[in-house]
Amino acid sequence: MLISASTNPPPFSELASYLTQLQSLDIDFIHCDIMDGHFVPATTFDHAYLPSIFRISHIPLDVHVMAENISEIYPKYMQNGVEILTIHYEAVADKEELKSILLDIKSHKIKAGLAIKPDTSFSEIKPLLEYIDVLLVMSVEPGKSGQKFIQNTISKIQEISWHRQENSLDFLIEVDGGVNDALAPKLASLGVDMVVLGAYLYNSENRALDVRKLSISK
């Protein structure tokens, strides 16, 4: 599985040093968690800090925007180093507008990601699958690191994976929230392509070993 390491767990003052440590690990993406204080209560850095993250880590960026006003802000995230740009289904009320944002992201040669909160059903977003490259399934309520994986997300992931296979679709399935080494093999067996690691990696006593363990999960 692909591993995307979250910027969320360390305090902002320690982020640069955490990113430097991640550089030596076999990580595929830096998962940049962007929070605006409205869509979720917490606030983090925004687009202005992405060049620094990329300069420090040299690892492709997987940007997860948990914010309102998506149509105004998303162009600022189409930057050098950003390989995946994910916006929330729930943050854009006008679904035609959502489609055009996803198409615009793709047209800039960036993978368009759509994130869904735990209570959003898969059937609701099915009409949007042809517009996306990545479906980010949230397995905790967005907002903070260190929460417990919501077990009934498993059946939603199963449904998504079956649908993808039956219809020969090729979007990636990314799972975000509470992922650890106990869950990873199960997620991989369901067809999950990519997991976000927050607290599990940040608190690990042997990050290199733990990353290896998860990336070989089948």
Q: Could you give the residue numbers annotated as active site?
A: 33, 176
| Angle 174-191-135 from CA coordinates, rounded to 5° | 30
3-state secondary structure at position 172: strand
Please tell me the distance from the alpha carbon of residue 192 to that of residue 171, in angstroms, as a whole number: 11
Q: Measured from the CB atom, is 162 or 203 closer to Zn ion?
A: 203
Partner from ligand DX5, Zn ion, none contacting 213, C-beta within 5 to 8 A by type: none
Q: Which residue number, 82 or 205, has a Cβ lying nearer to Zn ion?
A: 82
Distance CA 167, CA 89 (A): 22
Q: Which among 20-28, 67-75, 106-114, 176-184 is the span making contact with ligand DX5, rule CB under 6 A?
A: 176-184
**Smallest distance, Zn ion to C-beta of residue 116, A:** 12
Of the candidates 46, 28, 27, the residue with the CA atom closest to the CA atom of residue 38? 46
Q: Which is nearer to ligand DX5, 179 or 184 (CB)?
A: 179
176 touches Zn ion (CB under 5 A): yes
- Find the radius of gyration of the CA atoms of the chain: 16
CA 116 to chain CA centroid, Å, is 10
Quick check: 146 binds ligand DX5 (CB under 6 A)? yes
Nearer to Zn ion, 176 or 210 (CB): 176
| Opening angle at CA 84, ends 159 and 7, nearest 5 | 95
Rule CB under 6 A: say whether 86 interacts with ligand DX5. no
Considering CB distances under 5 to 8 angstroms, the limit depending on partner class, which of ligand DX5, Zn ion, none binds residue 57? none
Q: Counting contacts by CB under 6 A, is residue 113 touching ligand DX5?
A: no
Alpha-carbon gap, residue 143 to 33, rounded angstroms: 9
In terms of Cα–Cα distance, which of 14, 13, 59 is closest to 32?
Answer: 59
**Which listed option, ligand DX5, Zn ion, none, makes contact with residue 145 (CB within 5 to 8 Å by class)?**
ligand DX5
* Size of the residue set binding ligand DX5 (CB under 6 A): 21
Residue ranges in contact with ligand DX5 by CB under 6 A: 6, 8, 31, 33, 64, 140, 142-147, 176-179, 196-200
